[in-house]
Structure 1
Amino acid sequence: IDSVEPFAEELVDRLYVFFAGRLKQRLVEMLGTRPDIVEAVLEVGFDDMYLARLRLEALCEFMERPGFEDLAVAFKRVSSILKDFDDGGEPDTEMFELEEERALYGTMQELKPQVDRLMEQARYLDCLELLGSRLRGPVDRFFDKVLVNDPQNPEQTRNRKRLLRKVESLFVRLADFGRLRTSGKL
């Protein structure tokens, strides 16, 4: 029976990839949506296809608004620095040295319950607008003033990346913005 389990896991993985590919193709054809947008939404899950479609529709609508570039650039800045960081621990607020760290943490803490509520209500467009309007400034100021990867202080580096991982968690329930083609520069 031990030999069946790895086969079953591989089969489930292959079926998931197959269904994701078919669903992507169907949504692109049915809605006329760019493939990168569909991929971004499906990448974060499609267990509930109705909610995935609502997220897709909200993202398509939000991409037409000025706040989209702000949100996409903020997400890409955060996720690019976390590429090889797997620590999901909580940031230690006592280690924050700069106001920009405290400000980003405060904004994230303030937004989290609002994001949770909007996600529970499937108000994805409202969630995107909230994140787009409130995160770009604190993220930009953080990256302008804070040295995230401090070779002299690995504990500080880890703590700052933990903070960024928490910020990233606000976005990733909606879509993987890193998959979207944008004109914004990092």
Structure 2
Amino acid sequence: ARFFFEEDQKVKLDDRVEALKKVVYQQKLGTSFEKMERFRALGQKLAEKLNPMVKTQTSRAAWLCKADLVSAMVGEFPEVQGIMGREYALLEGEDAAVATAIAEHYLPTQAGGNLPASDIGAFVSIADKLDTICGCFAVGLIPTGAADPYALRRATIGIISIVLDKKYRFSLYELINCSLDLLEAKLLRPREQVAVDVMEFFRARFVNLMTAEFAPDIVDAVVAAGFDDLVDVKNRLSALSLFKTEPDFEPLAGAFKRVGNIIKGGIDTAVDPSLFDEPAENELYQAFLKVKSSVNSSIDAGAWMDVLAGVATLRIPVDNFFDKVMVMAEDERVRTNRLALLTEIAGIFRIIADFSRIS
């Protein structure tokens, strides 16, 4: 080992990066150098959005993080990949944060394992893993049953774990599309289908992780209402799980289900207050406007318990509406207007979760 260690120090990591051009990462996805260039660009995008101060260090860490794969030490002892990259980087006088990220970008190495401590390591880790996932899906190397030769499930769980641990707020769908932009020349399947498939792959892994912590029906309901900002989804899950213990919950869920059963898919028509001919219609509409105004600011603040408390105030006006108003009126304009009002009410509920899925 000492011989390999001493021999390796005769070649700088920067010079080893060039050697990655001769290492085939995957036949359809190109060399390890091409892969590094892709996830380097993706890591920079993450840094730009989440911590611009470390963009340069993120780029440098990504550039160097695979260099030790062509070292003698890692060639002989593959289990020290990343670790040797860190040590060689430190010996060469690289920024300590960059060197640490070289080792961290492989984390987590197993479910529940250590996660990157630094943003630099986290950005490179997410980018590298997402390039692997999107690349494999792009060329048809999709896991089936127990077969997952490229460990895509582990990579996906790793990304989810890092994002939730660091509380990174970004659009997963946008990041997947950024990755597919970088993979454009390699795509062997329709791009839109690849994006949909990767999102679904993430959704399934996320649901599996969350059902270990929350009731399956709550997870199903929340994820059905939107799955793009993972931290936001987790926050909605926590809030709804807590709210489910409140006495208001059951009647509120019942009110939503009544609304959903009548509107089915809903109706895309603006509500016209001049068509109201029952006091209960106007009462519900005014309650809706009040809640909509307060809920929007609570959503922006991520205060989901406040959102639920606001939505809960609609229960009595909704019940009163159903007691006093014949929704399916003979007059088509009146009927359409009443369905439009209920569609608006359902829209408020669906921001949080699809209550019809809660048992």
- Could you state the TM-score of these two structures normalised by the residue count of structure 2? 0.46
Query: Match for residue 156 of structure 1?
Result: 334
Instruction: State the Cα distance separating 1:75 from its structure 2 match.
Output: 1.0
Which residue, 50, 69, 72 being the options, matches 2:253? 72
What is the deviation of 1:147?
A: 0.9
The number of residues matched between the two structures is 172
Distance 1:143 1:8 in 2: 46
- Indicate which of 303, 312, 320 corresponds to 1:141: 320
Higher RCO (CA 8 Å, separation ≥ 6 residues): 1
Moved over 6 A (4+): none
Tell me, in whole angstroms, the C-alpha distance in 2 between the residues paired with 1:174 and 1:138: 19
* TM-score when normalising by structure 1: 0.87
Q: CA deviation at 1:77?
A: 1.1
SS in 2 for 1:149: coil
Other-structure match for 2:205:
22
Query: For the residues of structure 2 that align with 1:14 and 1:82, how far apart are their CA atoms?
Result: 30
Match of 2:353 in 1: 175
Q: Tell me the amino acid that sits aligned with residue 141 of structure 1.
A: N
What corresponds to 1:98 in structure 2?
278
Structure 2 unmatched ranges of 5 or more:
1-186
Q: How far, CA to CA, are the matches of 1:177 and 1:157 in structure 2?
A: 24
One-letter code of the match for 1:71? Answer: L
For 2:252 and 2:298, the matched residues in 1 are separated by: 17
Q: Which residue of 1 aligns with 2:217?
A: 36
Query: Over the residues paired in the alignment, what is the CA RMSD in angstroms?
Result: 1.5
- The alpha-carbon deviation at position 172 of structure 1 amounts to 1.0
Over the matched positions of the two proteins, sequence identity in percent amounts to: 35
How big is each residue's C-alpha offset from its partner over 1:90-115, in whole Å with a ceiling of 9 and x where there is no partner?
11111000000000001001111101
For 2:300, the equivalent position in structure 1 comes to 120
Cα distance between partner residues in 1 of 2:272 and 2:202: 41
SS of the aligned residue for 1:88 comes to: coil
Write the letter of the residue equivalent to 2:262: I
Structure 1 residue runs without a partner (length 5+) = 182-186
In 1, the alpha carbon distance for the partners of 2:265 and 2:249 equals 26
3-state secondary structure, aligned to 1:19: helix
